[in-house]
Structure 1
Amino acid sequence: MDGVIWLLNSPDESLPFILADSGFDVWLVSGRGSKYSSHISLTPNDLVVLYSMINLSSLPLEIPHI
């Protein structure tokens, strides 16, 4: 998933902007399988498996860092 998806709305309708304007720290995470990662050959079926692995492994590691 690409964290940029949170920024598609206008700033007054985008949750990250609203939270940042209210004084909160905002982290946008782009996980594996996004355009910022290095894969070039995954099919949609591969992505289903990949996102399942992300939920089990990557996400729990990101939360304590933030």
Structure 2
Amino acid sequence: MASNNRVLVPEAKEALNKFKLESAKEVGTPLTDGYNGNLTSRQNGSVGGQMVKKIVQQYENNISNK
């Protein structure tokens, strides 16, 4: 299966990386800028889950402030 992890807006790539590293720090996952193949699926999943959680919270805050 081919991976399609390309950033649609290249200017956002740095912000997405920063967001990912912040989320990893919040859940205690030792994510680095380089190779992270030593991390488990559970650790990587917790980072993605934290990112989604923060996005949903931001969306809910935006809706409630309107």
Q: Is the TM-score greater than 0.5?
A: no
